[in-house]
């Protein structure tokens, strides 16, 4: 496989400029934007591993920080931003809009990969940008925190949860009942919330790659 072209980018939002890592793949069918969870960043090892698997499947990726460096430092002490779903969703929506304006990415269909609280932000953004977001994957996510936006999501949505994560399984089931779009829940057996057990994150990557390949390709046909 040809190595992706990796570019450090700065993404302007309504209130701050966010740092990101854009990986462009030749002939990409789409781009997957990562919305990370509590206390994480664009350097998350788990998300970087999934991103590499998606790149190998022919998809461009964008890993970026939902918080500025100053906000992230404050959040590590106070946790005041990590559950501010409205703030995270606004930042993600601004990022989707930015991708639509950039020459390198504006022709690509967009998928969102949300982890933990980032999954709620992804669903809200999808509800607000139905013409721009074509597929969603949630990894150990909190889609229930998307509230009323759940019923407005049009993008096909895959909810991935660890089989040893009963509380999050229940919360995902609650959210799934409110989704009116095409959706599926995938339970990864013998996996905890962070999918740290051997081989489990690889299963997440395969599920996500198949979902995005199917739904982002379909929008191009």
pLDDT (tens digit per residue) in 5-59? 999 999 999 989 999 999 999 989 899 999 987 666 787 788 899 999 999 999 9
Task: Determine whether 83 is exposed, middle or buried from the number of CB atoms within 10 Å of its CB (0-12, 13-18, 19+).
Answer: middle
Interval 55-110: pLDDT, tens: 999 999 999 998 887 877 777 777 777 778 999 999 999 999 999 999 999 999 99
Greater pLDDT, 185 or 2: 185
Domain that holds residue 145: 5-218
- Return the pLDDT at 171: 98
What is the residue-averaged pLDDT of the chain?
Answer: 92
- Return the pLDDT at 149: 98
- Helix, strand or coil for residue 117? helix
Give per-residue burial for 164-196: e unless 16+ CB within 10 Å, then b. bbeebbebbeebbebbebebebbebeebeebbe
Q: What is the CATH number of the domain that holds 214?
A: 3.40.50.1820
- Return the pLDDT at 38: 62
Task: Quote the number of domains for the chain.
Answer: 1
Does residue 219 have a pLDDT over 50?
A: no
Among candidate residues 16, 153, 31, the one with its CA nearest the CA of residue 88:
16
128: left (phi over 0), alpha (psi -120 to 50) or beta: alpha
Please list the residues that pair with 14 across neighbouring strands: none
Local confidence band at 221 (pLDDT 50, 70, 90 cut-offs) = very low
% of the chain exceeding 90 in pLDDT: 80
Averaged pLDDT for residues 109-134 = 97
CB–CB of 152/178 below 8 Å?
no
Overall pTM surpassing 0.85 (yes/no)? yes
- Helix, strand or coil for residue 55? helix
Averaged pLDDT for residues 156-162 = 98
Helices (H), 62-110: 69-78, 85-101
Among candidate residues 197, 32, 6, 185, the one with its CA nearest the CA of residue 99:
32
């Amino acid at each position: 496989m040809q190595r992706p072209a990796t570019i450090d980018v700065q993404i302007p939002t309504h209130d701050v400029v966010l740092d990101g890592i854009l990986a462009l793949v030749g002939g990409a069918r789409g781009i997957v934007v990562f919305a990370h969870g509590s206390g994480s960043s664009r350097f998350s090892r788990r998300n970087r591993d999934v991103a590499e698997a998606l790149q190998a499947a022919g998809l461009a990726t964008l890993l970026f920080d939902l918080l500025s460096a100053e906000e992230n430092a404050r959040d590590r002490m106070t946790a005041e931003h990590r559950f501010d779903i409205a703030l995270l969703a606004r930042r993600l929506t601004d990022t989707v809009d930015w991708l639509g304006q950039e020459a390198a990415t504006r022709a690509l269909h967009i998928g969102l990969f949300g982890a933990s609280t980032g999954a709620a932000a992804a669903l809200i953004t999808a509800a607000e940008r139905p013409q721009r977001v074509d597929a969603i994957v949630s990894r150990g996510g909190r889609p229930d925190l998307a509230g009323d936006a759940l019923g407005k999501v049009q993008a096909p949505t895959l909810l991935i949860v660890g089989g040893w994560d009963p509380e999050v399984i229940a919360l995902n089931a609650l959210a799934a009942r409110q989704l009116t779009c095409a959706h599926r829940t995938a339970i990864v057996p013998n996996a905890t919330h962070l999918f740290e057990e051997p081989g489990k994150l690889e299963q997440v990557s395969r599920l996500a790659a198949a979902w995005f390949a199917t739904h982002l390709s379909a929008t191009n046909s």
